[in-house]
Homo-oligomer: A and B are copies of this chain.
Amino acid sequence: MTQIELARKGATSKEMEEISQREGIEVEILRRRVASGKIVIPRNVVREDITAIGVGYGLRVKVNANIGTSPDRSSAEEEIKKAEIAVRYGADTLMDLSTGGDLDKIRRRIMEIPVPLGTVPIYQIAVEATRKKGSIVEITEDDVFSVIENQAKEGVDFMTIHAGITSDSLQTLLNQKRLTGIVSRGGSLLASWMLHNDKENPLYEEFDYLLEIAKEYDVTLSLGDALRPGSIHDATDKPQIHELHILAELVEKSREKGVQCMVEGPGHIPINEIEANVILEKRICKGAPFYVLGPIVTDIAPGYDHITAAIGGAIAAMAGADFLCYVTPSEHLALPEIEDVKLGVIAAKIAAHAADIAKGLDLEKDYEMSKARADLDWEKQFKVCIDSDKASKLRRERHPKDERVCTMCGEFCAMKTVKEFFS
């Protein structure tokens, strides 16, 4: 049985117990939210020994790190290192987006890391079609579902499924004067296939079959936003909202069949529209967990999109988004390298944590940190902070004359002054 089916039957799984403990939420409350679909636990039944992660209402905001090879750069070793550093700095889940090299082998290696793993199966479908048939437009429905089934069988915990790009929503897009068209890789591949073959999206048309596979392995569906806006100009436009309504239908279908699902969101959004996007998703999709990519709040900062995404992610999470997909400094420019992955995870964790604080969750570390600051206790500060190596290195390299303070204020340190004159 899937987690949602178990919960509906009134049973609490081992995973629910584990999450309840870790997050300090009563297991009965958690169970009810899993039963209603407001919380998902992405965990394939065949996977062993992974940390159970809950995503959704009332839980701490989670962070996903995308890793994976590309046709231009395909070292499995490097991806493992990325995965390791991502988890070390706090990524709750990983997605393997590989499109270069031996995809099955790379995925299996990454699955040795004990956190929930997501994929976008259309990537493997496209890569294999291109290798075998020369083009994505040549794939058959069988190609599509055999990859999905194989990935499910091997233990993938959640899958991005672009089933919301349909003949209808694609038509809305084609009628729209968009600046950046389709920026979703999966979306652009499916749209090309649909236009070329003049056929409906098989992921939509055969959604019931997909649900059977997902149910068998308890794969959580992450309903992808193939028509997400790829620029501030296109944000919150008609194709995006059209697709969101289709995703809402699919949420209902998934829940009916006892399949866990969440909904993916943009992308590029101006900060004044982020809250509306979250409210819309939560309302239309009946409280399904919202998984956002960024959102990025300006288009003009390539090289710094971990920062544009941290701003958007914090605002989205404060408004109720449950799951932040990190963005690295190399977004829009190149495949991320190891240092990019680290920076991306840290920025997304800051955003998630800032939103947790806003909800009154996870306040202890900030208290400990600030107490250590007031005490001028540097070792304690390095213990509590999110990147102890960086913080201690920075202080070591710019060492103050007076051990108590730092080189910014030296003898005029406010903390030191207060200690001297107020006690």
Contacts and interface: CB of A to CB of B under 8 A. Distances in A.
A44 B367 CA distance: 42
A354 B311 contact: yes
A299 B358 CA distance: 13
A299 B362 CA distance: 12
Interface stretch (A78-86, A139-147, A284-292, A399-407): A399-407
A72 to B, nearest CB: 4
A417 B355 contact: no
A370 B230 contact: yes
A381 to B, nearest CB: 7
A302 B381 contact: yes
A411 to B, nearest CB: 6
Contacts of A315: 271, 311, 314-315
A183 B297 contact: no
A25 interface: no
A70 B391 contact: no
A270 interface: yes
Contacts of A302: 381, 385, 391, 394
8 A-B pairs closest in CB distance = A231-B370, A71-B410, A272-B358, A334-B398, A188-B414, A192-B421, A188-B417, A303-B390
Interface of A: 70-73, 99-100, 123, 126-127, 130, 136-137, 174, 179-185, 187-189, 191-192, 195-196, 230-234, 268, 270-272, 297-304, 306-308, 310-311, 314-315, 318, 329-337, 346-347, 350-351, 353-355, 357-359, 363, 365-367, 369-371, 373-374, 381, 384-387, 390-391, 394-395, 397-398, 400-401, 406-415, 417-418, 420-422
